[in-house]
Amino acid sequence: EAQVTQNPRYLITVTGKKLTVTCSQNMNHEYMSWYRQDPGLGLRQIYYSMNVEVTDKGDVPEGYKVSRKEKRNFPLILESPSPNQTSLYFCASSPRLAGVSEQFFGPGTRLTVL
């Protein structure tokens, strides 16, 4: 089944404790992206990647890191989480430029930073 998977689905952590949220897609898509969803703000892009070893900042990159060593994987790293990073996070992939192709979303990761 074609899908985007994220792990973990739920995570409660404390300020400053490094964490990684994994994202994997099995559709051989070039384009991958991370979003955060906050009430009243919709989804905002954190980072995106156009292909292996090609990543760039989105609209809200502060406090996050990403890497793209393999085409299928695009982990999101929070080196020192803070409470304002409490949010719902989505990974997405698409086969080519996002503007003309559907983005496929993972199920989401709900993160709480205490």
Partner 1 sequence: AQSVTQLGSHVSVSEGALVLLRCNYSSSVPPYLFWYVQYPNQGLQLLLKYTSAATLVKGINGFEAEFKKSETSFHLTKPSAHMSDAAEYFCAVTSFSGGYNKLIFGAGTRLAVHP
Place of tokens 């989804």: 43
Q: Which of residues 32-51 bind partner 1 (CB under 8 A)?
A: 33, 35, 40-45, 48, 50
- According to the binding rule CB under 8 A, does residue 1 interact with partner 1? no
User: What's the chain's length in residues?
Assistant: 114
Of 53, 56, 70, 79, the one binding partner 1 by CB under 8 A: 56
4 in contact with partner 1 (CB under 8 A): yes
Distances from the Cα of 70 to the Cα of 16, 29, 63, angstroms: 27, 11, 23
Report, in Å, the least distance between residue 80 CB and partner 1: 27
Q: Give the contact letters, 85-114, x = binds to partner 1 (CB under 8 A), - = no.
A: -----x-x----xxxx-xx-xxxx------
Scored b (16 or more CB within 10 A) or e, 42-64 reads ebebbbbbbeeeebeebebbeeb
Show the tokens assigned to 19.
């964490």
Which residues of the shown chain bind partner 1 in the complex (CB under 8 A)? 4, 33, 35, 40-45, 48, 50, 56, 58, 90, 92, 97-100, 102-103, 105-108
